[in-house]
Chains A and B, each alone.
Chain A
Amino acid sequence: MSQTAINNKTAVSEKYVELFHANKSLLDEGSSPLFNRMREIAVRRFEQTGIPGFKNENYKYTNLQPVFDKAYRPAVQYRNPEIDLNKVFHCDVPLLDTYTILLVNGWYYEENQKPQGLPAGTAVGSIRKIANEEPELVQNWLNRLAGLSNDPLVALNTAFAQDGFFLHVPDGVVLEKPIQVINLLSAKESLFATQRNLIIIGEHSQAKVIFCDHTWDACDLLSNSVTEIFVGSDSVFDFYVIQNQNNQANSVNSAFVKQEANSNLLTCIATLHGGMIRNNLNININGEHAEAHLFGMSFTDKKQHIDNFTNVEHNKPNCMSNQLYKNVLDEDSVGAFAGRIHVARDAQKTNAFQRNNNVLLTDKAKMHTKPQLIIDADDVKCSHGATVGQIDEDALFYLRARGIAEADARLMLMNAFAHEVIQEIRIEPLRDRIDELVEKRLRGELARCHSCDKN
């Protein structure tokens, strides 16, 4: 790295530290002490390393400098959007009956309708409000996972965190309907948003959460979100993320999951549109007989950049994790997948699998893929595999030789490629919608849900 680059990196990082100090009183104002007491420590942790550069092994495939080096206004105050989001963002997926929650620039939308018919004891809403009003629901969980992370961007989130989505499902409760969280970025000028989410699933419980990331306006947007998820023993939790922002929106999303014994976790990230996207997914398997299924798919073109980073920590024996990430890269887009599996010393009988398959549609598209297995136990079954290739020409010819036009044949093959991931979605109407969105995306159309296509 040249001297100027280092200077620039320091300068960019310092800008965020300055931004923090300049807005400190606004950040504290109205926030729970649970948030405020973490800020100074977090900002110092961020300051120590700054925005991660190429030298940081975990960020070597993604250059964050240009994305962070813009004159953003931090979204440190809630601003009510000019439009009625409840009217605009009415999800039209047929048969997808959900509790819908809207967030704008990381803030809980004040006009959110209160979800009706939730099982008793279930708390859903603004983490800011709940931390103030019922701190006992938050204090034993907040930052318990993220606080252990070395990632400076997670520390930056903790320093700026004011609001986000909160869900607490008590023991023995099954949420029949999924909770759909629409994360909207909306601003007339460049904006830096911070969102802090906390999801606590008790024991013997079940819940499904869908995040739909959207943008409203076309200007430079950067969002830095952190989601902490606790899945209690014998519980089942599904976490779906649909990233469908415009290409000027950049985001860093870090999720931390801690799983207890016999729990079953499924995550699935579908990236359709967006600029620079970095998804960190950290799984801490902390009880025996737990299962984690991690899925991801992305469809990129133009200058999109999508980087998925996973880290699965097997800390207890007899657990299973399975990762499948697939990317279809067109034009000049760049993708990265780095997946780490760590099997701790006593985590015998671990089954841990990982696969990353990629299709490059042009000579300019690029994919970086890096598996990393660290195994400290001796009786385990672990595997990883990665492929980067083009459309299978033999399969293409086979389809054409049966009278199927080239464009349709290509589409068929790409759909088939993606379908391996899509079929894992455990909410049927959502699966059908994603199938449809993926097909549209592959056809080169703007793949937005009808009711969420106003931008």
Chain B
Amino acid sequence: MLTIKNLRVSVEGMEILKGINLSIKPGEIHAIMGPNGSGKSTLGNVLAGKEDYEVTEGEIDFMGEDLLELAPEDRARKGLFLSFQYPVEIPGVPMVNFLKTSVNEHRKFKGLEPLTASEFLKLMREKKDMLHLESQLTNRSVNEGFSGGEKKKNEIFQMAMLEPKLAILDETDSGLDIDALKIVAEGVNALRDPQRSVIVITHYQRLLDYIIPDFVHVLYKGRIVKSAGKELAMELEEKGYDWIKNEAV
């Protein structure tokens, strides 16, 4: 699905990622944890194709293609989805128009006919129910005036609409209360599929109580310093990151 080899990334001349190696197979869930400033979000953004980052070395293969050569929209259409840490408010762009354009762009890419208005509304209703999303949210502008929790739920809702092959959840748990956290986790779990992979980027272990990862990686100072099974998350929760920092030095 995804193979990252020796990825080095700089922002304004400062190296943030210093040689990341990661391989994700279809159906796997990987958690990436680490202290603040370790480069977790940078990794998510680079995968999605944000322009402010300069890839100085390394390669990323996404389903047999050189991901770094693709524009962000093509990455999305090929099935890569980033749930934003800070979803952007876009006043004046109605949720419905945005989603419809997005879904139909994905369909066009796959050579499918665009959904009719009623088909689209039906799909939207289904997914909204699944995430217990307030019905009126889709009548508003994209993320405009949404609460923190609503924004994160809206991300998972979009993911459910687009059914990506690889979903990257960038601190989707931050700012969520426990009920919202469960709903988000349920949404992600409902989409579990042997062909679908997930990268969960998080500070805390609590989301991982609900979305059980196959692998946990610890990112520290731009490198993956430790990889293990789901028990590593528990250990981190107990001991904090300091012991890893000490080990890494």
Q: Which residues of A contact B (CB under 8 A)?
A: 392-395, 397-406, 408-409, 412-413, 415-417, 419-420
Contact = CB atoms under 8 A, between A and B. Distances in A.
A398 B88 contact: yes
Given A397-B50, A415-B92, A417-B92, A406 B76 contact: no
Interface in B46-103: 48-51, 71-73, 75-77, 81-82, 84, 87-93, 97-98, 101-102
A69 B31 CA distance: 71
Interface of B: 48-51, 71-73, 75-77, 81-82, 84, 87-93, 97-98, 101-102, 105-106, 109, 141-142, 158, 162
From B84, B89, B101, B109, residue with most partner A Cβ within 10 Å: B101
Contacts of A417: 92
B71 A406 contact: yes
B105 A401 contact: no
Main secondary structure of the interface of A (DSSP, over half): helix
B184 to A, nearest CB: 18
Contact of A403 (B73, B93, B97): B73
B51 A398 contact: no
A419 B94 CA distance: 11
Contacts of B71: 400, 406
Contact of B93 (A394, A405, A406, A413): A413
Given A400-B72, A401-B76, A404-B73, A395 B90 contact: yes
Nearest to A408: B101
B82 A412 contact: no
Nearest to B87: A398
A401 B93 contact: no
A413 B90 CA distance: 8
From B51, B73, B75, B77, residue with most partner A Cβ within 10 Å: B73
Contacts of A402: 76, 98, 102, 105, 158, 162
B87 A403 contact: no
A419 B92 contact: yes
Given A395-B88, A398-B88, A402-B158, 5 more contacts: A397-B50, A397-B88, A401-B81, A406-B73, A416-B91
Nearest to B73: A400
The 5 residue pairs across chains A and B that have the minimum distance between CB atoms: A416-B92, A403-B76, A400-B72, A402-B102, A398-B88
A315 to B, nearest CB: 34
